[in-house]
Structures are given as C-alpha cells and as structure tokens.
C-alpha cells in the first residue's frame, strides 16, 4: 500500500509543475486528501506530453492571448507568453485536436512588438491577455481580424476601410468592475509548498476554468481610483473583523460580491452582495465604507441567497446617497442604476456613436429604426438629427430606462418598444411606425436571427448601419444581404485595450438595381 508520505512528496514536489496538479493540490489541500489529489492528476494526464520543438516563429495571437506558430511540417502551436514576431524554442505540454499547447523554453529572437506587462496579475487572473503586446500592434491585429472576417466569412468587397479608432487611455478606462469574495483563494506554487499558515480568503476575479477559485487582486489597471483603494480597504476590514467570505462550493458565507461603477465626472457607485442577512455586520461594514470613502455617490447592497450572483432579479437597497450615478454622453445625460447596461468604456462609446451617426447621414425628415436598442443610448444620440427614431429591445427594464432617459433629456421624437426581435420586428411593427429610410442594428455577440435579416431585406431601407462586437457574426449576417446591399464603409473601434475584443461599424447601402 502506498504511504501518505510518499503521496505527499509526489504531489508537492514532482507534480506541481503542471497546471492540473497545481489545481489538484489546491483542491485537496484543506482536507489533506492527497490520494484523491493523485488520482485527479492521473485522470488529467492523458493528453499531457513532454517534448521540445525549436525555432518556431510566432505569426499571430489568438483570443486567449497565446501566440500562434506553425512548424515546417504543418503542426500548429498555441504558445503562452509570446507575441507575433518572436522566434522561440518551446516545451510542448499538451496535445489538443488540431494543435499543441506549449510554453517558451528559450527566446531565439524577441519581437519588436513585445512590451513588459505592467500588471502583477498578468497571465493569472485571465483578463488583459494582450498586455505584453504593444498597443500599436494590438490595433493592427484587431483591424486585420475584422477585415479578414468580412472578406472570408462575409465574402464582400469594402469600398472604404477607415483606420481603426484607437482608445486613449489604454488603461483605467472601464466604468464598471465586479469582484468576488471567496474562501478558496487561488494559491501560487510557492504558497502551496510553504509550511506557513496561508490566508485562504480573497477578493478578486475568478480563475479561468476554475469556477471555485478566486485570484486575489491587489492592483487592477482597468478602473480609475479609488477603485483599487475601495476594494483593498473592504478586504482588509473583512479580514480584520473576521467576516465570512463566500464558499462557492458549500454555498455559504456572508460576503458574496462587490461591484464598483464610476462616471467620467468622478461619481462612484458601490454595491455589496451579501449571501445572507446579518444586520449588525452589514451596517458596520457599510457605515465604515461611507466614512472611509466620502466620494462614493451611491452606496447600495442586496441580500442574494440564490444559486448565482446575477442582479437582474434582486432587490437593490440604498444604504446611503442616491440609488444612481449620472454619466454624460455628448450633450446627453444618462441615469445609471445598479442594473443598467451602459458601455463600459464611456469615452470610446462617444467615438463609436459618432461614427454610427456619420455613417447614417441622417436627414431631418428620416424615420429611423434602432434594433437591439438596449437602454436607448444610440437612439437618443441620433434623435436630434431625424424626424423620428424607434428603438426595440427584448429587455423590459432596458426599455423603461430608455424612456426615462428620453424624458430626462427632453427628447420627444424617440419611441421605445419591448419585444423579441425575431417576432416583434415584423410587418405590424412597420405599419405602426412607418417605413424607415435608415436602420441602426447593434445585436449581441451571436448576431441577428435569420428572420430579422429577412425582415430587413423585406423592409429594404436605403441604409443599414451595423454595429457589432463580433465581426464574425456581423460578416455572416452581411453575407446574407450582399445581393441587395453594398458595403460602403467599415471602421473598427477599440473599446477594450489589452484584450482581443473590438467593435466594428459597417455601412450598407442598398444597390440601385434592388431599389424598391
């Protein structure tokens, strides 16, 4: 029979080099079930390999932030911590269908596009995966990716491609961050091997592919201060006052999540989710936060004991201040609540909507449809430039917010309707509101339903401005319309520096031989 001491040696020394053993050791550290850890490691090892390949040139970077290389034999490699232009020797550690996963062993040549990642959590927390890639090269890669999708998937020719609209600044640009409390903090290899008592509570982001682990964050470079100060102070208070951090496996604890929202004018909203009510502890924490950070405009909480931490069905309670913050978009003012959708890069949102307005080339007599209107930001931004604009959206709370924002901004020519797009955007809708000369569409990542595309073709507007956060599904939809519409313009907008995400705006013009 294998002794526990032998298993301990194998888990903590021989096997800690791999990601699966790292996870297994963490998973079984609390209950010292080291035999289970070894069984888990063995079950994960069937795709593990150990080989060295040399002289690979990295030619691309994927959505996971891994460099892409191809050997002379045609083998594809996804390599961590490299960027296009690097030439490396690699250690291959996993075989997947169609490619190998590898890590750099030696840099033969470093890419001119390589930069030093500024974040101490880079490569661990799962965010900002392109931090080691120069910003100019990020923009180039995003623009090429969009155009490749439009040409390869959409099979269309683009008359004018405008340069990608880069973001400034490249960091501290987000106006919303969500953090999770957990009593199962992700541990480094050094912490696992340490004989010292390790603090297991943490406040941060979920570790990719490990739903029950949270990476404790000290400094995030995405949201302006005092975001880091607020988060770190709350964690310190919770530890010092022995408040229970959430246990995602046992579904127990007190502190669940923290959301911080801000505006460009410097207003801050803080929302704490508690898994259960403890009035004394709740009031003590919230009062302390308010005193430490008087710049918080809106201090909110909710008690959420359900199986997930989504807010849409929760009662949000205002502890102090007001229950909203206010953002400015050009001449418009938007009231943002805890549940409101609003573009997370507000400065670039203005750039995006300005491009959409220029592409639309609206006339004062135009009737305009805004499909997938959300909270009506694009519709309200365009309303002063047309006769009437009608927004449609499936989320009732979003439509309520859109109507309220229209009223608050004194806009009377914007109308909003609740409806599932594929069912509600139909002949009756057109009959009620009149035929639109221009249609704006900004669907979710999965693009437009084929029925919506067909209804657009039946409507036959003169112009369609298609805003998308996924150029692959955008290209797929445009391919279905290419017989009737020409692609006049395309312009990418970088809303999320240091990531692969990019928005794209396309102008479709109805072809003369298909005029209605």
Q: Are the CB atoms for 447 and 470 separated by under 8 Å?
A: yes
Burial of 190 (0-12, 13-18, 19+ CB in 10 A): exposed
Compute the half-sphere exposure of residue 363: CA atoms within 13 Å on the CB side of its CA.
7
Enter the tokens of residue 463. Answer: 């112009």
Return the SS3 of 326. Answer: strand
Maximum Cα–Cα distance across the chain: 85
Contacts of 24 (CB under 8 A, 6+ apart): 11, 15, 37, 38, 40, 41, 44
Measured distance CA(54)–CA(31) in Å, rounded: 42
Measured distance CA(328)–CA(331) in Å, rounded: 7
Q: Are the CB atoms for 490 and 161 separated by under 8 Å?
A: yes
One-character DSSP codes across 258-280 = EEEEE-TTS-EEEEEEESS--HH
Cα 330 to Cα 7, 369, 378, 477, 513: the distances in Å are 63, 21, 12, 31, 39
Among residues 38, 125, 386, 469, which one is catalytic?
469
**Dihedral (Cα; 61, 62, 67, 72), 10-degree rounding:** -90
Measured distance CA(47)–CA(20) in Å, rounded: 11
Instruction: Output helix, strand, coil percentages for the chain, rounded to the nearest 5.
Output: 30, 30, 40
Enter the tokens of residue 248. Answer: 């995602």
Count the Cβ atoms, other than its own, within 10 Å of residue 486.
17
Measured distance CA(407)–CA(227) in Å, rounded: 31
Any catalytic annotation for residue 302? no
Return the SS3 of 493. Answer: strand
* Closest CA relative to residue 20, chosen from 43, 36, 54: 43
Cα 338 to Cα 68, 141, 280, 315: the distances in Å are 40, 34, 24, 10
Q: Are the CB atoms for 275 and 256 separated by under 8 Å?
A: yes
Angle at 49 between CA 114 and CA 104, to 5 degrees: 15
Catalytic residues: 469
């Amino acid at each position: 029979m294998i002794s526990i001491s032998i298993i301990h040696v194998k888990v903590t020394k021989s096997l800690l080099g791999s990601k699966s053993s790292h996870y297994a050791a963490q998973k079984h550290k609390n209950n010292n079930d080291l035999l289970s850890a070894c069984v888990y490691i063995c079950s994960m090892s069937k795709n593990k390999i150990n080989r060295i390949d040399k002289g690979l040139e990295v030619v691309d970077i994927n959505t996971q932030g891994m460099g892409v290389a191809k050997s002379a034999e045609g083998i594809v490699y996804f390599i961590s911590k490299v960027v296009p232009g690097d030439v490396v020797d690699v250690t291959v550690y996993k075989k997947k269908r169609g490619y190998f996963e590898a890590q750099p062993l030696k840099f033969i040549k470093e890419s001119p596009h390589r930069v030093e990642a500024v974040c101490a959590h880079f490569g661990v927390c799962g965010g900002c995966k392109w931090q080691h890639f120069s910003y100019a090269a990020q923009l180039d890669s995003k623009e090429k990716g969009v155009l490749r999708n439009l040409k390869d998937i959409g099979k269309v020719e683009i008359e004018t491609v405008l340069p990608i609209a880069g973001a400034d600044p490249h960091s501290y640009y987000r106006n919303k961050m969500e953090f999770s409390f957990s009593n199962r903090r992700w541990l480094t290899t050094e912490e696992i091997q340490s004989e010292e008592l390790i603090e297991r509570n943490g406040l941060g982001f979920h570790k990719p592919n490990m739903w029950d682990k949270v990476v404790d964050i000290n400094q995030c470079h995405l949201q302006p201060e005092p975001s880091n100060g607020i988060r770190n102070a709350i964690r310190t208070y919770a530890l010092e006052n022995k408040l229970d951090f959430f246990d995602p496996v046992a579904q127990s604890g007190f502190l669940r999540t923290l959301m911080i929202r801000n505006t460009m004018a410097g207003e801050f909203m803080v929302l704490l989710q508690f898994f259960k009510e403890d009035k004394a502890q709740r009031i003590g924490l919230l009062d302390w936060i308010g005193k430490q950070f008087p710049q918080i405009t809106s201090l909110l909480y909710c008690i959420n004991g359900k199986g997930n931490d989504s807010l849409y069905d929760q009662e949000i309670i205002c502890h102090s201040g007001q229950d909203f913050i206010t953002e400015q978009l050009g001449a418009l003012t938007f009231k943002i609540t805890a549940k409101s959708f609003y573009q997370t890069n507000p400065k670039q949102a203005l750039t995006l909507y300005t491009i959409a307005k220029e592409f639309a080339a609206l006339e004062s007599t135009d009737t305009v449809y805004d499909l997938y209107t959300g909270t009506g930001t694009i519709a309200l931004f365009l309303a002063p430039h047309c006769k009437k604009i009608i927004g449609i959206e499936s989320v009732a709370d979003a439509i309520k917010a859109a109507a309220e924002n229209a009223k608050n901004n004194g806009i009377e020519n914007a109308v909003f309707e609740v409806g599932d797009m594929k069912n509600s955007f139909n002949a009756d809708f057109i009959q009620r509101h009149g035929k639109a000369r221009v249609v704006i569409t900004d669907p979710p990542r999965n693009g437009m339903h084929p029925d919506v595309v067909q209804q657009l073709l039946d409507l036959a507007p003169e112009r369609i401005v298609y805003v998308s956060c996924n150029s692959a599904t955008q290209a797929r939809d445009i391919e279905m319309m290419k017989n009737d519409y020409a692609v006049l313009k395309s312009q990418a907008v970088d809303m999320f520096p240091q990531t692969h995400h990019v928005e794209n705006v396309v102008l479709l013009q109805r072809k003369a031989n298909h005029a209605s």
